[in-house]
């Protein structure tokens, strides 16, 4: 049974955090001074020094300090960004670069700026996830950028919408592959200061090529503790809080929380390469043992959806064309097989999910040891296959607005985020087919065939689809509630 923090203690906790200096001191509270700065409590601290070639890129995107060539609409279709138009000829794409754009260091956006970023991204180690399995070159041709892929790729514009391929000034790129986004982006807010994994500060960039931002700045504090993020909304110490835990949602004023159906799936990844789950019969035993409905009710208090597949209700077409599973492996008796089940603590629900799963798997005949750490201290081991089972909360259309990048990265032999260590020729072929199919109904059908191929391996067992809860003080207007977690503070976000 979940134990909630007594209601009277929540504001006291927030006050204690304030007195301890937990939150950013870059700007005074906007509602007290009228300076229009927005205070944000972010979930995850930077993992890679805010290098845009890592997942830290999504922070830069959510702060509107970094911009990409292409944007996406709600359906995942490509829209102009720093590129105003593009056209395709076979494996070659020609992009026209938006004129009149300056970077935060005062230099001008040019075709060479774009080529510099894309070329460095291809050489980065690790390579940005959106480029997994992609061979791409970029060159300047007059005032255009010519992008060529080794194989025909119908999703080049969508790939170039990934925050990991945001365009920065030449001054951002240093020696040994280091990239600094401080003062080198092109968005309506300029990143001016980063205090390690504690805080960051951004000021409005008055030289922005588009609409001027309504807020004068953003003060960010990284607060991995979900109770503290929720308490900050109650106390007024934060204007916006990412990912309010389910356990805290009922303690907040309903006017301050928003539930957004997210393309984010909570999946149990089983190590198919080594250890006990190299045996497909034992993977099937886990599949049969999991009661996802119990997890949704007991951990998420009904604020999530039981998974029928990897892709959830944020992509309604998935359920419409998903076919019943076929060719499933029969389960074998675990007979006391000992396994290590791991997850991370940054998302408050995951340790609780691990505890419920531990009980379910033990009931099925496994012996289960748990490992729970902060994400920054467990990712390397997870990717190296050091756990038998790993619970991951993962966005399924994070990069391109299209699930193929997720399927490629997480479930193919060469995938850069393959926690399950899965290498199955049927999965690889299905993902290749989906990747080569033009956008539209045929591509969606191919995507669902690839999902089915992954599910048949039982190396990834989807349990539920999350509804991310965002906290907004009543003093905030027009923050973004983005299913893809790309935008948060926009030019229109302001304090009333």
Helix-helix angle 425-436:441-457, to 10 degrees = 170
User: Around 483, how many Cα atoms within 13 Å sit in the side-chain half-sphere?
Assistant: 23
Least confident of 24-38, 272-286, 299-313, 359-373: 24-38
d(CA 379, CA 394) in angstroms, rounded, equals 13
Distance, CA of 430 to chain centre: 24
For the purposes of burial, counting CB atoms within 10 Å of the CB of 496, is it exposed (0-12), middle (13-18) or buried (19 or more)? exposed
**Cross-strand partners of 265:** 394, 465
Q: What confidence score (pLDDT) does residue 172 get?
A: 97
Domain 261-467 has CATH 3.90.660.10: no
d(CA 242, CA 224) in angstroms, rounded, equals 10
pLDDT band at 6 (very low <50, low <70, confident <90, very high): very low
For residues 336, 338, 339, 341, the Cα torsion angle rounded to the nearest 10 degrees is 90
Q: Nearest to residue 53, comparing CAs of 221, 192, 147, 174?
A: 174
d(CA 96, CA 144) in angstroms, rounded, equals 5
Cis peptide before 126 (omega within 30 of 0): yes
- Output the CA–CA distances (angstroms, integers) from residue 24 to 3, 14, 20, 39, 199, in the order listed: 29, 13, 11, 8, 6
Tens-digit pLDDT profile for residues 29-53: 334 333 599 999 999 999 888 999 9
Q: Nearest to residue 496, comparing CAs of 471, 470, 478, 469?
A: 478
List the chain domain ranges: 9-64+187-239+473-495, 70-170, 261-467
- Output the CA–CA distances (angstroms, integers) from residue 300 to 282, 320, 355, 388, 467, in the order listed: 27, 25, 13, 25, 9
Q: What confidence score (pLDDT) does residue 1 get?
A: 41
String of b and e for 412-432 (b: at least 16 CB within 10 Å)? beebbbbbbbbbbeebbebbb
- pLDDT for residue 266 is more than 60: yes
Q: Confirm if 491 and 479 have CB atoms less than 8 A apart.
A: no
**Secondary structure of residue 94 in the 3-state scheme:** strand
Mean pLDDT computed over every residue of the chain: 91
- Residue 427, H or E segment: helix 425-436
DSSP letter for 108, please.
B
**Highest-pLDDT range among 69-73, 331-335, 405-409:** 331-335
Q: What confidence score (pLDDT) does residue 75 get?
A: 72
Pairing outcome for strands 144-149 and 189-195: unpaired
Backbone angles phi, psi at 129, to 5 degrees: -55, -35
Least confident of 23-32, 79-88, 264-273, 282-291: 23-32
Over residues 86-103, the mean pLDDT reads 96
Q: What confidence score (pLDDT) does residue 451 get?
A: 98
Instruction: Please indicate whether the domains covering 70-170 and 261-467 agree at the CATH topology level.
Output: no
CATH of 9-64+187-239+473-495, one of 2.60.120, 2.30.30, 3.40.190, 3.20.20: 3.40.190
- pLDDT for residue 152 is more than 70: yes
Total number of residues shown for the chain = 496
d(CA 67, CA 62) in angstroms, rounded, equals 10
> Taking the domain 70-170, which CATH number applies?
3.90.76.10
- Output the CA–CA distances (angstroms, integers) from residue 447 to 133, 269, 316, 459, in the order listed: 16, 20, 13, 18
Structure tokens at 173: 């790129």
**Angle 213-216-217 from CA coordinates, rounded to 5°:** 100
Tens-digit pLDDT profile for residues 331-368: 999 999 999 999 999 888 999 999 999 999 999 999 99
- pLDDT for residue 190 is more than 60: yes
Backbone angles phi, psi at 480, to 5 degrees: -85, 140
**Secondary structure of residue 492 in the 3-state scheme:** coil
């Amino acid at each position: 049974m979940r134990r909630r923090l007594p209601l009277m203690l929540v504001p006291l906790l927030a006050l204690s955090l304030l007195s301890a200096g937990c939150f950013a001191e870059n700007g005074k509270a906007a509602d007290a001074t009228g300076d229009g700065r927005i205070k944000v409590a972010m979930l995850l601290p930077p993992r890679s020094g805010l290098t845009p070639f890592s997942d830290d890129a999504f922070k830069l995107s959510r702060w509107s300090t970094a911009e990409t060539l292409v944007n996406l609409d709600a359906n995942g279709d490509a829209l102009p960004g720093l590129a105003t138009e593009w056209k395709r000829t076979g494996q070659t794409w020609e992009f026209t670069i938006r004129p009149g754009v300056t970077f935060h260091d005062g230099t001008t956006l040019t075709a060479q700026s774009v080529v510099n970023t894309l070329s460095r991204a291809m050489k980065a180690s690790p390579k940005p996830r959106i480029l997994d399995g992609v061979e791409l070159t970029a060159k300047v041709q007059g005032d255009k950028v010519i992008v060529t892929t080794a194989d025909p790729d119908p999703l080049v514009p969508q790939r170039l919408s990934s925050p990991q391929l945001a365009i920065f000034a030449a001054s951002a790129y240093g020696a040994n592959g280091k990239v600094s986004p401080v003062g080198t982006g092109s968005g309506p807010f300029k990143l001016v200061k980063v205090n390690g994994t504690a805080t960051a500060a951004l000021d409005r960039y008055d030289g922005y090529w588009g609409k001027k931002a309504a807020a004068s700045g953003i003060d960010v504090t990284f607060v991995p503790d979900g109770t503290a993020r929720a308490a900050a909304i109650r106390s007024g110490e934060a204007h916006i809080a990412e990912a309010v835990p389910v356990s805290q949602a009922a303690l907040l004023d309903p006017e301050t929380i928003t539930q957004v159906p997210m393309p984010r799936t909570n999946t149990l990844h089983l190590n198919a390469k080594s250890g006990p789950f190299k045996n497909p019969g034992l993977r099937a035993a886990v599949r049969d043992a999991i009661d996802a409905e119990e997890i949704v009710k007991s951990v998420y208090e009904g604020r999530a959806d039981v998974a029928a597949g990897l892709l959830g209700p944020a992509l309604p077409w998935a359920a419409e064309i998903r076919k019943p599973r076929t060719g499933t492996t029969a389960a074998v008796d675990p007979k006391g097989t000992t396994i290590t089940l791991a997850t991370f603590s940054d998302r408050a629900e995951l340790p609780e999910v691990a505890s419920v799963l531990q009980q379910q798997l033990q009931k099925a005949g496994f012996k289960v040891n748990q490992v729970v750490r902060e994400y920054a201290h467990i990712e390397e081991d997870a990717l190296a296959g050091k756990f038998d089972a790993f619970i991951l909360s993962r966005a399924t259309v994070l990069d391109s607005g299209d699930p193929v990048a997720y399927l490629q990265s997480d479930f193919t032999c060469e995938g850069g985020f393959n926690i399950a260590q899965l290498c199955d020729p049927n999965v690889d072929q299905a993902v290749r087919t989906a990747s080569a199919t033009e956008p539209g109904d045929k591509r969606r059908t191919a995507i669902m065939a690839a999902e089915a191929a992954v599910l048949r391996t039982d190396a990834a067992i989807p349990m539920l689809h999350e509804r991310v809860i965002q906290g907004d003080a009543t003093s905030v207007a027009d923050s973004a509630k983005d299913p893809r977690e790309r935008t948060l503070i926009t030019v229109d976000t302001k304090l009333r």
